[in-house]
Amino acid sequence: MKKVKNVSKATGPVYKVPFRRRRKNLTNYAKRLALLKSGLPRLVVRKSNKGIVVQIISFTDKGDKTEASANAKELEQYGWVVQSNLPTAYLTGLLCAKKVLKKGVKNAVFDMGLTKPTKASVPFAALKGVVDAGVEIPHNPEVFDNERFSGKHVADYAKKIKDTAAYQKQFSVYLKKGISPENISDLFESVKSKLQKS
């Protein structure tokens, strides 16, 4: 009868705990590493129910460093009515780019995070604003929709429902500030012009 060798049991941990942000599905580390390998700052766009934040972030040995940041609320000083929509995203991107260009940053890569890439979405509206300001970022122009980014779809919808109860409810924020949503494209061009001249 053959003697069975004594197989020793594992003495250390057999399971590696993933990073907290991976566990919570907040960061795709493989995608992040690919972006960091470019050696360029990242354009990061984050949307909430009440606004949009656009940042240009560089990686350093001590952690991420924010080169420039723009919050949609800053657009109020230019006369814009802040909503979490496409025109706001574009203008916030434009504002962020103006800030970062003053620091000498002229190139970046686009970091969508875990957001699903959808044509003419908020992240792409912000990207268009940054690109139009003069920051070089690799992109496919097919993801842009200039009419939607300028708020034409909002204006068209406002005209369509103007004589209904939904109009007052849907556009209450604009109406309280004395702005006709049908003219949002004109307001957009006015604010865009102010930002470009600043």
% residues pLDDT > 90 (the chain): 68
Structure-model confidence comparison of residues 112 and 141, the more confident one: 141
Which token pair is 81? 């009515």
Asked whether the predicted pLDDT for residue 4 surpasses 60, the reply is no
Which token pair is 10? 């594992």
Return the bridge partners of 42, or none. Answer: 57, 109
Structure-model confidence comparison of residues 123 and 14, the more confident one: 123
Asked whether the predicted pLDDT for residue 15 surpasses 70, the reply is yes
Least confident residue range of 34-38, 138-142, 145-149: 34-38
Asked whether the predicted pLDDT for residue 10 surpasses 90, the reply is no
Q: What is the pLDDT of residue 26?
A: 73
Confidence band (pLDDT; 50, 70, 90) for 3?
low
Domains of the chain by start residue, with CATH: 28-197 (3.30.420.100)
Q: What is the pLDDT of residue 33?
A: 82
Average pLDDT of 76-84?
A: 93
Q: Distance (Å, rounded) from C-alpha 141 to C-alpha 145?
A: 9
Average pLDDT of 46-54?
A: 91
Asked whether the predicted pLDDT for residue 129 surpasses 80, the reply is yes
Return the bridge partners of 63, or none. Answer: 60
Q: What is the pLDDT of residue 127?
A: 97
CA separation (Å) from 93 to 79, 169, 188?
16, 28, 13
Q: What is the pLDDT of residue 147?
A: 95
Average pLDDT of 62-72?
A: 94
Average pLDDT of 66-93?
A: 95
Structure-model confidence comparison of residues 49 and 186, the more confident one: 186
Asked whether the predicted pLDDT for residue 113 surpasses 60, the reply is yes
Confidence band (pLDDT; 50, 70, 90) for 9?
low
Q: What is the pLDDT of residue 67?
A: 96
Among 148, 153, 99, smallest CA distance to 122 is for 148
Q: Is the dihedral of CA 132, 179, 45, 113 positive or negative?
A: negative
